[in-house]
Amino acid sequence: MASEFCPSCGTPRTGSFRFCRKCQFDFDSTEPLASSTPAQPVAPSVSPPAPPAHQLQTPPQAGPSQMAASGRALDIASVVVAGAGALILLGAFLPWITVTAPLVGTISRNGLDGGGDGLIAVVAGLALGAIGLSAIAAGGSTTHRVAAVVLGAVAVGLAILDYGNVQDRIRSLDTSIQTLGSVGTGLYAVGLGGLVAMVASVRMKRAKKAPQVSSA
């Protein structure tokens, strides 16, 4: 007796038809067609449960160097310190004393012409520039601020000391040309650069440390 249901797809057999009306299975055959295997049910996809709130970890914040690379806010005070160092360095090469004499013209001497004081100004200017650039790149620190204050004070003290020396030289000139002597712009640049470095160093921003993230 023929089977009442198709062994391949389970569809009821219609009358005495040889072939299944759904999957064309031959009822006279002993094996189901390979291509007529019923589709397996697909299990519904289930999303994994969200982890508890206490297990969520806050991603670590970027370090100072990464902040700089990603557009960290520029520390204006550090830029000013670097600029003050450049001003002091420039002042060492500008005239520290200028004298204009009849028939001779204008005679000027810069800080390096005198020897040691000009070299001190060069070193202070270069050091302040390096401090400012370092603070811009990695953030300021207590060491940056203290060093900037000390170097700025050195530049200011040097300018005050040499200002007095220049005035003494002018007074030692002949009375007819004393009024033609003057302190050069280099000394003013050194003193101003030192003063600006001292003030700006107080405003330098500290580098922010990335917060420690608990693994719990």
Whether 48 is in a domain gets the answer no
Q: How confident is the model at residue 190 (pLDDT cuts 50, 70, 90)?
A: very high
Q: What pLDDT shows up at residue 36? A: 45
Whether 25 is covered by a domain: the verdict is no
Range of the domain at 95: 73-202
Q: How many structural domains is the chain composed of?
A: 1
In a domain, 163, yes or no: yes
Does residue 149 form part of some domain? yes
Whether 97 is in a domain gets the answer yes
CA distances from 91 to 68, 94, 193 (A): 31, 5, 9
Please report whether residue 158 resides in a domain: yes
Per-residue pLDDT reduced to its tens digit, 40-83? 554 555 566 666 655 555 555 555 444 444 445 678 989 999 99
- Could you tell me what percent of the chain has a pLDDT over 70? 68
- 191: in domain: yes
Q: Is residue 90 part of a domain?
A: yes
